[in-house]
Amino acid sequence: MKEPANADIINTANSPLQTCFKTGHLYAPDLYNLCLPHVNIVTHPTILENLQNTAIEQEIYFDTPCNLLYSDTTAQFWIPNELNQIICNNLKISYTWTELCQLFYHFFTTPSFHILHCDGNIYMINSNSLLASKIKFLRYHRDQITKIVQQLSRYLGKTSTILTVCPKITFPHCKVTDPFVSWLENELFGNNNMFSRSPGQLLFI
């Protein structure tokens, strides 16, 4: 409904807005004041609180603090079975972030049937290795190994809570066992796509 090349002009022709505001065009910065007469202002404290709580639950969004999660020693991560066999020798089914980083760093910087040293800090995956069928790139820099771990691993869960990991955060009216804390945990760490790729990162099949 915006005017081409001028997003501040809204063309309301043949829309409910034309009937509502009785004009064919609107200036976007005026919308707040134009809409205000059509809004019922809630003043009753109980209704106001209920509406606010409903809006918060529906609209609240958290960027998952991945660095906080990585530093949590109770957080567990999983990698696909065949990669667990090749990279970690099936030492465990799940690993802490530190364990995975150490295992991956050792594997991806140690020449073997799977890994070839090219030059300086550049390494290459042997095209005959099973890894070559799982990973779209062949060469990588040693500083990219953390990104390789991020993309190949999946977050399973943890036993700590935001309050135990961050003792400086205090909620005077909350205990660790309160439902609010569980809800907060689910919002923070319930997204298993937290390690989604972004442009420029390494890619995997």
On whether both 40 and 67 belong to a single domain, the answer is: no
Highest mean pLDDT among 26-40, 102-116, 184-198: 102-116
- The pLDDT-based confidence of 201 (bands split at 50, 70, 90) is very low
Q: What is the pLDDT of residue 63?
A: 67
CA 165 → CA 94, 183, 192, distances in Å? 20, 16, 20
> Which residue is associated with the tokens 């997003």?
7
Q: Is 54 exposed, middle or buried (0-12, 13-18, 19+ CB in 10 A)?
A: exposed
- Beta bridge mates, 157: 76
Q: What is the pLDDT of residue 116?
A: 94
On whether both 87 and 101 belong to a single domain, the answer is: yes
On whether both 138 and 187 belong to a single domain, the answer is: yes
On whether both 73 and 40 belong to a single domain, the answer is: no
Q: What is the pLDDT of residue 132?
A: 86
Q: How many domains does the chain have?
A: 2
CA separation for the pair 33, 198 (Å, rounded):
39
Q: What is the pLDDT of residue 100?
A: 94
Higher pLDDT, 182 or 121: 121
Record the pTM: 0.59
On whether both 91 and 149 belong to a single domain, the answer is: yes
On whether both 127 and 79 belong to a single domain, the answer is: yes
Q: What is the pLDDT of residue 205?
A: 41
- Domain final residue, candidates 13, 36, 59: 59
Enter the tokens of residue 198.
Answer: 């972004």
SS3 41: coil
- Beta bridge mates, 78: 154
Q: What is the pLDDT of residue 199?
A: 36
Q: What is the pLDDT of residue 107?
A: 96
- The pLDDT-based confidence of 97 (bands split at 50, 70, 90) is very high
Q: Are 76 and 96 in contact (CB under 8 A)?
A: yes
Enter the tokens of residue 195.
Answer: 């390690």
- Domain final residue, candidates 20, 38, 59: 59
Residue 84 has pLDDT above 80, yes or no: yes
Higher pLDDT, 162 or 69: 69
Helices 81-88 and 97-108, interaxial angle, to 10°? 60
On whether both 100 and 9 belong to a single domain, the answer is: no
Q: What is the pLDDT of residue 172?
A: 72
On whether both 119 and 202 belong to a single domain, the answer is: yes
On whether both 179 and 133 belong to a single domain, the answer is: yes
Closest CA to 73 of 100, 108, 33, 113: 100
CA separation for the pair 176, 182 (Å, rounded):
8
On whether both 23 and 36 belong to a single domain, the answer is: yes
Domain that holds residue 180: 63-205
- Domain final residue, candidates 41, 59, 77: 59
Closest CA to 116 of 127, 125, 103: 125
On whether both 48 and 101 belong to a single domain, the answer is: no
Residue type, 199: P
Query: Which of 11-20, 34-43, 107-116, 158-167 is predicted least confidently?
Result: 158-167
Q: What is the pLDDT of residues 103-143, one digit of tens each?
A: 999 999 999 999 999 988 999 999 999 888 888 788 899 89
On whether both 55 and 69 belong to a single domain, the answer is: no
